[in-house]
A and B are shown apart, each in its own frame.
Chain A
Amino acid sequence: MRERKIVISDPSLRDGNHAVQHALREDQIAAYCKAADAAGVSIVEVGHGNGLGASSLQLGEAATPDHIALATARANLIKSKLGIHVIPGFATIERDLKPALELGVDVVRVASHCTEADICERHISYSRSMGSEVWGCLMMSHMISPALLLEQARKMESYGAEGVVFMDSSGHYIPDDVRQRVETLVDGLSIAVGFHGHNNLGLAIANSMAAADAGATLLDGCARGFGAGAGNTQLEVLVAVLERIGYSTGIDLYKMLDAADLAEKILMKEVPTISSVSVVSGMAGVFSGFMKPVTRIAKEFNIDPRDVFFELGRRKIIAGQEDIILEVAKELAQQAGRR
């Protein structure tokens, strides 16, 4: 089992953008792409944290427009494939996807909330018809059972996706959760299965190992864990662990470690850590990207951000419903009689 090849997809320059308010610049993109390419990373994902076409006042404006970010990455990736994250609605086919493919994107990952795979049909079909490699991504996958996750993944398969990645967007999983889902997906799909982890509970590496052992053939990881909230699966550690237990990734470990050092130096204001609030976010099953707005709003209302996260989790709030943070904070403050 462990002689299999695991393909690594690196969203440092996409998910990492969440951690810096989408402020990654052209020179940073170029430098990290060169380093990841030299290390032999299979797929390097680039763009706004919420993907192609998502730069906006509501979600945060990207310092580097999509077309410049992609052209820069393309110019600096020789062996590695260039990937993008596409959420239908943020990204439209004519305005965003078509120009991105013309810029030389190799891998399109079309993502939706875990219960909404239907919205991906046109974007998957279009990308496939243009000759791109297409994956489906199911975000916040902990919110539904493995059986329902399979139903949604099958939709993506029927639309033409060549693989499905399920995302632990809030860092909520423990290894048994991941194993169960990968086994269900591998058994029920005829396409490849991938896993994207977050580290809120300190289990991103263990969860990724569980995914690989259960049959996943693609794993996501970010250099130094550069990503939303407590960060993603730490890529250089993931590569080392995979090598340690016998999986092949095709990545040069030393060069990967160098790339991670570079990422820490040039991309990050701070290396992601598992803060107390991150732990609560993971426990509550709330999207890691909520960490900064929750912390800010909780401070404004003089309430405990951990209470906000648990209430958001109870309400099953997902990305795109950030306005509820304010509502929740206000209610909690009123209950506490503080405002």
Chain B
Amino acid sequence: MKLECQTRIRHDCLQVLHGREKALDVLRQTNLVIIGGTGFVGSWIAEMVATLNDEYQFGIKLSLISRSTDQFAIRLPHFAHRSDVQLIKSDVRQLGQFPMDADWVIHAAANPDVRTHASNPLDTASVIVDGTMSVLRTAERLGRLKKLLYLSSGLVCGSQPASVKGVSESAQGAPTPDASFIYPNAKRFAETLCSAARAQSRIPVLVARPFSFIGPYQSLDTPWAQTTFLSDALRGHPIRLQGDGQVVRSYLYGSDAAYWFLKILTAGQAGDVVNVGSPVGIALQDLAKEVAKNFEPSPDIMFNTAPRSTGKSAQLLPDTTHAQNDYGLSVFTPLEEAIKLTAQWHAMQNN
């Protein structure tokens, strides 16, 4: 990764931490393990921890467990040689080399790529369900464990009813129980496993439900709106909209998300469930325009030849009242800025 890109990430982390780092003081001189630590979320939390160590002398010992540590070391080489970071190559379902002195554990292992969910639903479910069982069994043997944060999904409550502004943690909906919804259904069951482990083994586990994110480290190969728009624009193509552009989503920037996860991990009570995302919705047509603004010449925005009108799942936004009121969390990086930072970062990487 280019030095200027590293510098930009560090800057983003510092921006979020400025005046807020004391809220994470309990992490000082402790051991944090992130399982599934080399994806978008894991990479950003690792960057945030590195910033806490380098700039605020937190002395956190970080272990990143993943099947793809080799690619991580190539993608983020500045982590490969840090003495405070340990990369452990392992499948979440067979955690043979787990650091038994862990104080904090974040379980983020899952593949969020919808193409994998569609083509390999059983493997998708196995990583989530068998993986969570494996993490919980391992957690039973951790003598120093203070908290385990499970990263579930904002999709576990199914689609958002038209009558509400955002999906709250207590929403009673559920995904349809068929193969197309294997990911949220598996995540939903994994939440139940966490609850069972808390009840049976007193494991101090709580749940974060991520919604949509944006930022560096998000692969532009993934077929999500924000990534395909950026990918189109970076390739010099028109930005293509799949539907009528009226679908509404919200996006939280990577450094914001990393801080949210660390704050929830350290301040949360076992058994709590917290939405992680931005409550500020944007129609995809407007998102495309925001992306286009960051490129010169500005790409055209194209619609499909035969677009269909917005369906019933037109909006999916988190209700973040709980995160705001009980954790003091909010959106630190406005979406316009988040898009700009992401576009600039990818452009720097490509140049």
Contacts and interface: CB of A to CB of B under 8 A. Distances in A.
Interface in B273-311: 302, 304-308, 311
B118 A158 contact: yes
Nearest to B179: A151
Contact of B115 (A129, A130, A159, A215): A159
Question: Looking at chain A, what size class is its interface with the partner chain?
Answer: 35 or more
A194 B228 CA distance: 23
A188 B223 CA distance: 18
B223 A190 contact: no
Interface residues of B, number: 28
Interface string B223-265: 1000010011001011010110001000000000000000000
B180 interface: yes
B313 interface: yes
Contact of B306 (A117, A118, A190, A218): A218
A151 B308 contact: no
A7 B307 CA distance: 9
Contacts of B118: 117-118, 121, 154-155, 158-159
B221 A151 contact: no
Interface in B177-223: 178-180, 221, 223
Give the dominant DSSP class at B's interface.
Answer: loop
B117 interface: yes
A217 B242 CA distance: 13
Given A121-B115, A158-B115, A194 B178 contact: no
Given A125-B115, A159-B223, A162-B242, A192 B308 contact: yes
Majority DSSP secondary structure for residues of A touching B: mixed
Nearest to A83: B305
Contact of A192 (B228, B302, B306): B306
Contacts of A107: 305
Nearest to B244: A192
Interface in A1-24: 5-7
A81 interface: yes
Contact of B305 (A81, A151, A186): A81
B212 to A, nearest CB: 15
Given A7-B306, A190-B243, A190-B247, A129 B231 contact: yes
Contacts of B305: 7, 42-43, 81, 107, 133, 218
Interface of B: 114-115, 117-119, 178-180, 221, 223, 228, 231-232, 235, 237-238, 240, 242-243, 247, 302, 304-308, 311, 313
Query: Which 7 residue pairs of A and B lie closest in terms of their CB atoms, listed nearest first?
Result: A131-B237, A7-B306, A158-B118, A218-B306, A155-B118, A158-B114, A217-B306
